[in-house]
Amino acid sequence: MLSIKNLSASINGKTIIKGLNLEVKEGEVHAIMGPNGSGKSTLASVIAGRETFDVDEGTVTYMGKDLLELPAETRAREGIFLGFQYPVEIPGVSIANFMRTAINEKRKYLGLDPLTGAEFLRLMEEKKKMVDIQSKLTNRSVNEGFSGGEKKKNEIFQMALLEPRLAILDETDSGLDIDALKVVANGVNKLRRPDNATVVITHYQRLLDYITPDFVHVLYDGRIIKSGDKNLALELEEKGYEWVKKEAPAGV
Amino acid sequence: METTYSSLNKDRLIELFHREQKSMTELATPLVNRIRQHALSRFEKNGFPSKQLENWRFTDLTPLLNTEFFFDFSNKSRSMDVEKIFTCDVYDLDTFSITLLNGWFVYKSAPLTKLDNGTIIGSLAKAMEVYPELVDQYFGKAAKTDVYELAALNTAFVQDGLFIYVPDGVTLEKPVQLINIVNADHPVFLQPRHLIIVGKGSKITLVHCDHSLTHNVSFTNILTEIFAEDNAVVDHYKIQNKGRNSALITNTFIRQKKSSSVYSNMITLNGGFTKNILDVSLPEPNCRSEHFGLYLVDSNQHVDNQVYIDHIAPDNYSNQLFKGILDDEARAVFSGKVMVRRHAQHTVAHQNNKNILLTDDAKANTQPHLEIYADDVKCSHGATVGQLDPEAMFYLRSRGLCERTARQLMMIAFAGEVVQKISIQALQERIQHLVEKRLKGELSICDQCMLHCNSKEPTAFNIDMSKI
């Protein structure tokens, strides 16, 4: 589904991603872990199409398409979803209006008729129940005055509505109390299907108590220096990142 | 009789005044004519405002006066069927509707109507003839011709406009709508004059639409005086949708008596040159005075909002919020001043101006200003000039919205804060619809015009993607 080969990316001339390789297949859940500043969020931004980053080398192929050729909105319509680490507040734009516009732009791109108001409302109610989001939240402006937990729940709600093939959750767990964390993890688990994939970017092992990954990767200094199964996350929790750094062959 | 000049200046206007004096003074009351003479002497002294003046620093009238203008000192359009040439988008609201064509009152049956509840609505010229005491009691009491050059000019040439008198204790259920149309096949210089008197405990909603149905040059200098007596409630909405070659200056003077409330909302959708001057006096306590503005300008349009709120008495509340979106080489100016005088304790006054510039060539000058002489007050002011938040743009795009849709959504949301202040639901929806059309590049001044002159002005506010 997603194939990243020898990717290098920079911002303002500073190289952040330094020859990264990653393969994600349908039905898989990948966790990318690593210390602060290792390039986790940059990787998420590059996949989602944020123009502030320059891709200097390498290829990113998604469902057989050259992803780097596509603008951010086309990537979204092709089924990529980025859960933001810091969801943006947009005063005056209601979540319902925003999501209806997003869904209908996607449907137009796919050659489908737009959802009517009633159809959209029905879909929204269904997804609200699914991800356990409070009803009143969707009438408010996007993220405006939301608590940290509400913002992250709202990301999961949007993900549920947009039904992505590939979801990248960028530190969705940071700053959450245990209840909000459970809501987020529950949402991800319920949305899991054999034909979609999820990449969870996280600093802590905590989220992985609720979302079981098939693969765990350690990102350090712009490269994946170690990959393993869910036990790797437990090992990292216990020993920290230092031992992986030492173990990594120089120049990888 | 029509008079033309190749370009206008103070001396030519004074010469014109002396030549046309008779046709103006014969319709007015003796008191109005004395006020007229005083205003003329002020204009003779001060002339047109120059760029040296603080409030005109960024707004230059000179190029606008460099035209061969026609003046009309008699009402030629009073029995015209306006609906044949124009339908207002706000028209289908259930309103008491009045039309001014080229500054003159247009009427089907009578120039002045007295409703069962005692309310008088109609032509100011006619009111001076039928109700001279009423006009004399208020006329010129709010307009500060000594301070404002263009208020002096308007007063010197006063002839006709809208007159409304709402007696004490009357609530007008229907909004009164004034449609001010400019339509002439030559450049015109117009100075309508409105006098609105709202009695004790009375309530009125006034919707004031300025349109031009011509691509010709026009210069309109409107003066409106609004008197809100004790406990009166006045909602005053202005919708401006004028052509590229039109210059519109509005001078609005509001005088509030105790415990009255006045809300105004100025929506500038289109206009070559627009300057809105608002002057509010609060000489008595327990009043609310809230003033909102929205301007959506593109190409080389110029819009200037100048607000002065004078807190004279204690315990008054005032609030200003003016927001604008500027595209292309458009220019916006905001100068707001809140004066809190020595005895105006417990004043609460807020003032805010926010601008979004869509291009590097658009420009906004903003000067919020507080002058406070009382010590127990709560005042705030603020101003911002910026672009659409790029983080928010990326957020919307990452959900599948194209750049154009994302921008429109954010602009509509930005403008919405002002539109939501409109308290009449039906009017709010109409104006929201107009604002959305405007921001989607679907509204021009030609939309409501029935003349089909085949020289449609472009429906601008098109977002030129190559500039991003």
Q: Which of B394, B399, B403 is facing A102, going by the closest CB pair?
A: B399
Q: In this structure, is residue B232 part of a structural domain?
A: yes
Please state, in angstroms and rounded to a whole number, the distance separating the CA atoms of residues B211 and A176: 54
Confidence of residue A203 (pLDDT cuts 50, 70, 90): confident
ipTM: 0.95
Q: If you count them, how many residues does chain A have?
A: 252
Give chain B's end-to-end CA distance (angstroms, integer): 52
pTM of the model: 0.86
Is A181 within 8 Å of A210 (Cβ atoms)? yes
Which tokens in the block code for residue A79?
Answer: 């089924």
Q: Which residue has the tokens 């509340």?
A: B317
Confidence of residue B3 (pLDDT cuts 50, 70, 90): low
Please state, in angstroms and rounded to a whole number, the distance separating the CA atoms of residues A2 and A81: 13
Q: In this structure, is residue B414 part of a structural domain?
A: no
Number of A/B CB contacts below 8 angstroms equals 75
| Alpha helix ranges (H) inside B3-142 | 10-25, 30-46, 62-65, 124-130, 132-138
SS3 content of chain B, % helix, strand, coil (to 5): 25, 40, 40
For the cut 90, the answer to whether the pLDDT of residue B181 exceeds it is no
Q: Does B402 touch chain A (CB under 8 A)?
A: yes
Q: Does A44 touch chain B (CB under 8 A)?
A: no
Distance from CA of A130 to the nearest CA of B (A): 20
For the cut 60, the answer to whether the pLDDT of residue B295 exceeds it is yes
User: Which of A32-41, A131-140, A242-251, B374-383 is the least confident region?
Assistant: A242-251
Q: Distances from the Cα of B74 to the Cαs of A35, A182, B21, B27, B159, in angstroms?
A: 82, 78, 12, 11, 9
What residues does each domain of chain A span?
2-247
- How many domains, in total, are found in chain B? 1
Average pLDDT, integer, range A89-97? 91
Is A57 exposed, middle or buried, given 0-12, 13-18 or 19+ CB atoms closer than 10 A? middle
Q: Helix or strand or coil: residue B320?
A: strand
Chain A residues in contact with B401 (beta carbon < 8 A) = 73, 101-102, 105
Q: Helix or strand or coil: residue B454?
A: coil
Distance from CA of A219 to the nearest CA of B (A): 24
Disruptive mutation site among A11, A67, A70, A73 for chain B (greatest number of B CBs within 10 Å): A73
User: What percent of chain B clears pLDDT 70, i.e. is strictly above it?
Assistant: 88
Q: Helix or strand or coil: residue B223?
A: strand
Q: Which residue has the tokens 């002839």?
A: B159
Task: For residue B437, give the nearest of B422, B419, B453 by alpha carbon.
Answer: B419
Please state, in angstroms and rounded to a whole number, the distance separating the CA atoms of residues B255 and B122: 21
Domain with B65, as residue range(s), is 2-80+95-383
Q: In this structure, is residue B393 part of a structural domain?
A: no
The domain made up of A2-247 has a fold known as: Rossmann fold (3.40.50)
- Which pairing describes strands A166-170 and A197-202: parallel, antiparallel, or unpaired? parallel
Which tokens in the block code for residue B280?
Answer: 């509010």
Q: In this structure, is residue B328 part of a structural domain?
A: yes
Please state, in angstroms and rounded to a whole number, the distance separating the CA atoms of residues A80 and A34: 23
Q: Does B405 touch chain A (CB under 8 A)?
A: yes
Does the distance separating the beta carbons of A49 and B398 come in below 8 Å?
yes
What letter does residue B121 receive in the DSSP assignment?
E
pLDDT in tens, A148-194: 888 988 999 999 999 999 999 998 877 788 888 888 888 889 889 99
pLDDT in tens, B385-427: 999 899 999 999 999 999 999 999 999 999 999 999 988 888 8
| Per-residue confidence (pLDDT) for residue B426, from 0 to 100 | 81
Q: In this structure, is residue B353 part of a structural domain?
A: yes
- The radius of gyration computed from the CA coordinates of chain B, to the nearest angstrom, equals 21
Does the distance separating the beta carbons of B403 and A92 come in below 8 Å?
no
Helices and strands (H and E) in chain B: how many: 9, 23
* Residues 6 or more apart whose Cβ sits within 8 Å of residue A182: A210
Is B406 exposed, middle or buried, given 0-12, 13-18 or 19+ CB atoms closer than 10 A? buried
Is B105 within 8 Å of B161 (Cβ atoms)? yes
**Residues 77 through 116 of chain A touching chain B, CB cutoff 8 Å:** 77, 81-82, 84, 87-93, 97-99, 101-103, 105-106, 109
pLDDT in tens, B87-132: 655 545 677 888 888 888 887 667 898 999 999 999 999 999 999 9
Task: For residue A228, give the nearest of A247, A238, A213, A206 by alpha carbon.
Answer: A213
Which tokens in the block code for residue B1?
Answer: 């009789």
B280 Rama class: left (phi>0) / alpha (psi -120 to 50) / beta: beta
| Per-residue confidence (pLDDT) for residue B1, from 0 to 100 | 44
